[in-house]
C-alpha cells in the first residue's frame, strides 16, 4: 500500500485513536483554520476512507485498526 507523505501525516494526527475534526487536522499540518480547511482535509481523507484506513466519526475522522497497521508498518509511497 503506497501512502503519500500527507496521508501518513494525516494518519499520524489520528494515531491517538480519538475523533479529530478538520480543525485538529489543519492545526496538525501547521495550517491556519480557514474556509478552505474542510476542503483540504477531505481531499486527503477521501483515498484513506476508500482504503478503510480511517472512518467517519461524528463530525470528524478516526483511525481504524488497518490504519494503525499501515502507519506502524512504515510503508510509504517513496520506496
Name all domains of the chain by residue range, CATH numbers in brackets: 5-72 (1.10.10.10)
pLDDT in tens, 8-33: 999 999 999 999 999 999 999 999 99
Going by pLDDT thresholds of 50, 70 and 90, the confidence category of residue 79 is very low
DSSP character at residue 16: T
pLDDT at 72: 84
Q: Residue 16: its pLDDT value, please?
A: 93
- Residue linked to cell 488497518: 66
**Beta carbons within 8 Å of 55's beta carbon, 6+ residues apart:** 49, 61, 62, 64
User: Collapsing DSSP states into helix, strand and coil, what is residue 11?
Assistant: helix
Helix (H, G, I), strand (E, B) or coil at 24: helix
Distance from chain centroid for Cα 5: 11
Q: pTM of this prediction?
A: 0.87
Yes or no: say if 26 and 35 are a contact pair by the CB < 8 Å rule.
no
Amino acid at each position: 500500500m503506497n501512502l503519500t507523505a500527507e496521508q501518513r501525516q494525516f494518519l499520524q494526527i489520528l494515531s491517538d485513536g480519538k475523533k479529530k475534526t478538520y480543525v485538529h487536522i489543519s492545526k496538525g499540518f501547521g495550517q491556519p483554520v480557514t474556509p478552505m480547511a474542510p476542503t483540504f482535509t477531505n481531499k486527503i481523507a477521501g483515498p484513506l476512507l476508500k482504503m478503510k484506513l480511517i472512518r467517519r466519526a461524528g463530525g470528524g475522522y478516526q483511525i481504524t485498526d488497518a490504519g494503525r497497521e499501515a502507519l506502524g508498518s512504515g510503508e510509504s509511497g517513496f520506496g
